[in-house]
Amino acid sequence: MEMDRTSLICISTVLGSDNFYSKLLMLKDEHNRPFFNTFEFFLACQACIDAGIAAKCVHKMHELPHWQSSRKHDRIRHMMKDQQSLLERETLGLMQDAGQSIFSRPKVKAIFTKPAYVFTKPIHHIFVSIDPNAGGDSRFAICSCVYESGRLIIIGLDAKAAKYPAQYESLLLEHLEQIRKNEFCKGATLVIMPESNLGFESHHIQRCVMRSRHARYSVVMTDKDNQPGLCTTHPIKEAMAIKLNDYLVEDAVFVGEHFVCVNDCISVRQIKRELCDELCEYKEMTELAKTPFQAAKKTYTGKIGGLVDDLAVCLQLNALWHLDFFKAADKYSSFY
């Protein structure tokens, strides 16, 4: 590629999103444009892919090259009917990951295509989940949600690469400021729910909020030892994925009308798209046992092939942990 006036042409069957070739397909330049000109041939239409029936799709058989036979393709599909992932990758040209997607793509995309949720009465509680930066490409992420009549309404998202408190404090405080400017949110209590897996990050977040002018209408949730923040163990990660999935299955996830994103480097439209992409790529990965005496290990992640999952994790934390606020009446009843 360093030579002048040369063209690089690459042809391959795509594997998983963590494969080096797949990473080249998804690579972006400094202007967030595709780094390469790509042509992807799928022998399944988008509607069937979204519906999860790509292996049965016959809507693009007319695009077969002249040297291939549609009759023999039918025989191959019948032969590989019990190996659908392999069929979709090798014959239909679809990318297949080792893990299983947790959230339905059509359900996720529906969040951002249906009309924005309009509030008609005052909001009492705004739940603000925070996923601190874990290093690498991770970001400090904020997700603000309201719960009304069994619905989860996302009213704000923010994300910023920040390693130290001084780099995210202004973003956090401005986010809280803008959230409460909504006429229905002016009297709401801010319930701050930081993840506490990273050292003293949750303590920094508590200090930041409780020393600000937001302190008089804010509460920071604490763990069983009364330390600020909540820890995401493996059972918690599984439970929060299940809880968000419950909302998605019921078509009960919405985006609020007056949506907040205060990071000047990200537009509202872009951060919504990032959340959509992260939820679609969030997977349950199974690592097989290495010896007969070990059990298979499941992990939940969207960090595959250089991707990030901060916003997706934040939303899941919110869906699960807001319930703990009402369960722990001994701690938080004065804020009800």
- Asked if 60 and 83 sit in the same domain, the reply is yes
The 10 Å Cβ neighbour count of residue 53 is 12
Which of 96, 118, 139 is the last residue in one of the domains?
A: 96
- Does residue 313 contact residue 141 with C-beta atoms inside 8 Å? yes
- Asked if 91 and 122 sit in the same domain, the reply is no
* Position 6 in a domain: no
pLDDT, one tens digit per residue, over 69-128 is: 888 878 887 787 777 667 777 777 776 655 578 999 899 999 999 999 999 999 999 999
* Position 8 in a domain: no
- Asked if 70 and 159 sit in the same domain, the reply is no
- Asked if 27 and 152 sit in the same domain, the reply is no
User: What is the b/e burial string over 257-284, where b = at least 16 CB atoms within 10 angstroms of the residue's CB?
Assistant: ebbbbbbeebeeeebbebbbbbbbbbbe
- Asked if 137 and 204 sit in the same domain, the reply is yes
- pTM recorded for the entire structure: 0.76
Cα(307)–Cα(281) distance, rounded to whole angstroms?
9
Which of 96, 120, 139 is the last residue in one of the domains?
A: 96
Distance of CA 270 to the CA centre of its chain: 13
- Asked if 245 and 283 sit in the same domain, the reply is yes
- Asked if 145 and 262 sit in the same domain, the reply is yes
Higher pLDDT: 67 or 277? It is: 277
- Asked if 187 and 325 sit in the same domain, the reply is yes
- Asked if 78 and 210 sit in the same domain, the reply is no
Instruction: Return the pLDDT at 207.
Output: 96
- Asked if 143 and 287 sit in the same domain, the reply is yes
Give the domain extent around 159: 105-335
- Asked if 142 and 204 sit in the same domain, the reply is yes
Higher pLDDT: 229 or 66? It is: 229
Which of 96, 131, 150 is the last residue in one of the domains?
A: 96
What CATH number does residue 214 fall under? 3.30.420.320
* Position 197 in a domain: yes
* Position 279 in a domain: yes
pLDDT, one tens digit per residue, over 182-206 is: 999 999 999 999 999 877 899 999 9
- Does residue 60 contact residue 44 with C-beta atoms inside 8 Å? yes
* Position 193 in a domain: yes
Q: How many domains does the chain have?
A: 2
DSSP 182: S
- Asked if 127 and 38 sit in the same domain, the reply is no
* Position 7 in a domain: no
Cα(299)–Cα(231) distance, rounded to whole angstroms?
16
- Does residue 137 contact residue 126 with C-beta atoms inside 8 Å? no
Name residues whose C-beta falls within 8 Å of residue 255's C-beta, 6 or more positions apart in sequence. Answer: 111, 112, 116, 117, 153, 154, 155, 272
User: Model confidence at 289, in pLDDT bands (50, 70, 90)?
Assistant: low
Instruction: Return the pLDDT at 9.
Output: 86
